[in-house]
Structure 1
Amino acid sequence: MASAEAHLEAEALPPISEGDMNEIRAALEKGDLTAAATKAQEILANEEQIQLHIAVTGESGSGKSSFVNAMRGLQDHEEGAAEIGVTETTMECSPYPHPQHSQVIFWDLPGIGTPNFRPDTYLKEVQFDRYDFFIIISSSRFTYNAATLAKEIQAQGKRFYFVRSKVDQDVSNERRLYDEEGVLKAKGKQATETRSQWYDEMAVLLRIRQDCERKLARLGIRSPQVFLVCRDDFSMKYDGPILLQTLLDDLPSEKKLSFLRCLANTSREVLRQKKKELMKYVWLKSLVSCGASAVHTGAASADVDTGVLVTSLKEYCRTFGLSEESLQKLAKQVNKPVKELKAVIKSPLEDEITKNVLIKLLTKSLGGAVQYTSLLMKALPEEWQAIGCLVSAAISFPSTFFLLRNFLSDAAADAERVLQKALEGTTQKSHLWS
């Protein structure tokens, strides 16, 4: 542990106002750990309440409802899933919170261009201002209505993304034109500039994408980007991972963590960004734990609030998919025994974290707390080092800080190993493991 901590670098700051920072510092200078912890808890609670509203729209029958279900990690038949059908089933704006992270809300909007929702009044009728960004879906070609909607969204200062759904069906239909060896069947078919003699899935996808982009350009969309997705294995196949990463990159900093929490752990980059965002809040959680202990004991001491820490460790496991339910789901998705995925995990799963497990982990941190107090300053951003000095006198703060920091790092490393094991022998590994 000592050698690992010797290379600590300061983490980035969470989005905290200067006023809140000064309030915490002032409380600590007065020796009021409880007041400082209360403010830290307030900041964390506010972060938990940050909402993200994602609008999913497009032509009727384009697969909007299935896309909403895929983004929420649900199958179309599962309880709480958006209703699907061969006819238009969405007649009003329907909110669907993420099952585990209710602050992220996906809105299944009525199909644009239907009699009740004309393009010229559509944004007003669906309450445009409510959404952070729009996803415009088509299952074939993007129409004039889709392009008109995109232009209006852009004119009003919000982002939109074109998504071409049901790509797996197109790929399957094209594959039927070739024999088992991948050679174009001669009967009634000849190789052309767009269809080669040998089957090439990447060429098929490129042709679909270029066709969509060319038609959108003709409709007046400058440099359109189209993401190709399918319902099954959405977050791991075709452009699903690229779409999710693009959405994440475009979000304002204060909303990134909300979106990250609901993302499946299907790429190394997503895992690293989850770790980076969660690490920003470790010192606040440590302060809350110490302050909660002070409420019970009447003074700052070596004690910590175990309830706060157990909740935090479980949160880390849940975010990185380190639970029995998440692992079972992933094993089924990649068609591998769950035992293989569990074999690479070194830290406790969410279901295994109890007060007794926490005490064992905390004891290890307590043993070196004094030794690592100086290193604590290296892990805090310069703006917060004064606060670190004020609370590090209580041995509980550095021990709690390093407990949370190390467990978070271990959970992130476990998640990477699980992903690597899950992707072994699959065609998705090249673009998900980079």
Structure 2
Amino acid sequence: MKFQEYDFFIILCAKHFTKLELDFAKTIRLMKKNYYFVRTKVDLDLDNENKCKPRTFDRAKTLQQIRSMCVNTFSQNNMDVSQIFLISNSYLSDYDFPVLMDTLVKDLPAQKRHNFVLSLPNITELAIDRKHSSMQQTVWLEACKDGLLATVPVVDILRDDVEELKLKLNHYRVLFGVDDESL
């Protein structure tokens, strides 16, 4: 694989981080690339803990224990980890998924940020707001371009503009997951 071509790496684990993931992170660090540790299936761990200890179950405490176990694994292997993201594959808007998305957007180079934001799932208010903001910038740039082109006298431009507008509007509908019924 051409690891140098990637901006960052996301290292996923469903239970405990193994030597393989830790060695991978060390290699990434040597390449001076960003990496993020993501602990998945947190909802299943919480459900299991609740079933085993229904009277003493504390959601926040259990999440902190999971996070602490991950941090301890890194400490025991002489690795610093700035942040560990706890996510659920079933409930993306819960836990640290929105924080992970926010972190990835901030750490991306500016020229790649727009495409990444548009690829985010429409599951959180923040993701939808980001898409909206990003698309507002695109619409403004398109309007400026079309305004400049309107100063050039060409007959077929109007017909092409209508077709292009239809394509763009359909793209926006798909982007935000809007269909005829929801309108």
**Whole-angstrom CA distance in 1 between matches of 2:113 and 2:32:** 19
Give how far 1:293 is off: 9.9
Residue 82 of structure 2 corresponds to residue 207 of structure 1: no
Structure 2 residue aligned with 1:160, among 17, 26, 35? 35
Q: Residue in 2 aligned with 1:239?
A: 96
Q: Secondary structure at the match of 1:137?
A: strand
- Selected match of 1:147 from 6, 16, 22: 22
SS of 2:36's equivalent in the other structure is strand
Which residue type is aligned with residue 274 of structure 1?
K
Q: Distance in 2 between matches of 1:170 and 1:269?
A: 26
Distance in structure 1 (CA, Å) of the matches to 2:150 and 2:4: 39
Alpha-carbon separation, structure 2, partners of 1:159 and 1:311: 37
Q: Distance in 2 between matches of 1:177 and 1:214?
A: 24
Instruction: Indicate which of 124, 128, 131 corresponds to 2:3.
Output: 128
Gaps of 5+ in 2: none
Superposed displacement of residue 319, structure 1: 2.1
Unmatched segments (≥5 aa) in structure 1: 1-125, 184-197, 325-338, 343-348, 350-434
Specify the code of the residue in structure 1 equivalent to 2:175.
Answer: T
2:128 to 271, 276, 293: 271
Q: Looking at both structures, which has the greater relative contact order when contacts are Cα pairs under 8 Å and sequence separation is at least 6?
A: 1
Q: Distance in 2 between matches of 1:224 and 1:273?
A: 25
Q: SS where residue 153 of structure 1 aligns?
A: helix
Aligned-pair CA distance for 1:288 = 4.8
Relative to structure 1, the CA distance from residue 146 to residue 277 in structure 2 (aligned partners, 3 Å threshold; closer, same or farther) is same
> What SS does the aligned partner of 2:20 have?
helix
Preserved contact between residue 4 and residue 31 of structure 2 (Cα < 8 Å) = no
Q: Could you tell me whether the CA contact under 8 Å between 1:216 and 1:224 is conserved in 2?
A: no
Cα distance in 2, alignment partners of residues 293 and 175 from structure 1: 67
Q: Quote how far apart the aligned CAs of 1:251 are.
A: 0.8
Larger Cα-atom Rg: 1
- If the length of structure 2 is used for normalisation, what is the TM-score? 0.84
| Residue 176 of structure 1 pairs with residue 27 of structure 2 | no
- Which structure: greater helix fraction? 2
* CA apart distance, 1:127: 2.2
Does the aligned pair in 1 maintain the 2:10–2:36 contact within 8 Å?
yes
Q: Taking every aligned residue pair, what percent have the same amino acid on both sides?
A: 31
Q: Distance in 2 between matches of 1:295 and 1:317?
A: 31
For 1:307, which of 163, 167, 174 is the aligned residue?
163
Find the aligned partners of 1:131 and 1:143 in 2 and give their Cα distance: 23
Aligned pairs for 1:31-430 within 5 A: 126-178=1-53, 182-183=54-55, 198-233=56-91, 235-289=92-146, 291=149, 296-297=154-155, 305-323=161-179, 342=182, 349=183
Superposition CA RMSD, Å = 2.7
